[in-house]
Amino acid sequence: MLSKTIEAGLNKQINYEASAWYNYLAMSAWFEHANWTGFAQWMKVQAGEELEHMHRLFTFVNDRGGKVALEKIEKPSADFKQPREVFTRATEMERQNTKSIHALYAVAIEEKDYATQSHLKWFIDEQVEEEKITREIEGLLDLAGNDQSALLMLNRQLGERASKDS
SS3 track for 36-57: CHHHHHHHHHHHHHHHHHHHHH
Q: What is d(CA 88, CA 92) in angstroms, rounded to the nearest whole number?
A: 6
pLDDT value at position 161?
87
Q: Is the pLDDT of residue 166 over 60?
A: no
| Rounded percentage of the chain residues whose pLDDT exceeds 70 | 98
pLDDT value at position 165?
61
pLDDT band, very low/low/confident/very high, at 80 (cuts 50, 70, 90): very high
pLDDT band, very low/low/confident/very high, at 162 (cuts 50, 70, 90): confident
For the beta carbon of residue 55, count every other beta carbon within 10 angstroms. Answer: 13
DSSP alpha helix (H) spans, 34-113? 37-63, 83-110
Average pLDDT over residues 106-132: 98
Average pLDDT over residues 63-86: 95
pLDDT value at position 163?
72
Q: Show the domains of the chain with their CATH numbers.
A: 4-159 (1.20.1260.10)
pLDDT band, very low/low/confident/very high, at 105 (cuts 50, 70, 90): very high
Q: Burial code of 9-32, b = ≥16 C-beta within 10 A, e = fewer?
A: bbbbbbbbbbbbbbbbbbbbebbe
Residue type, 88: T
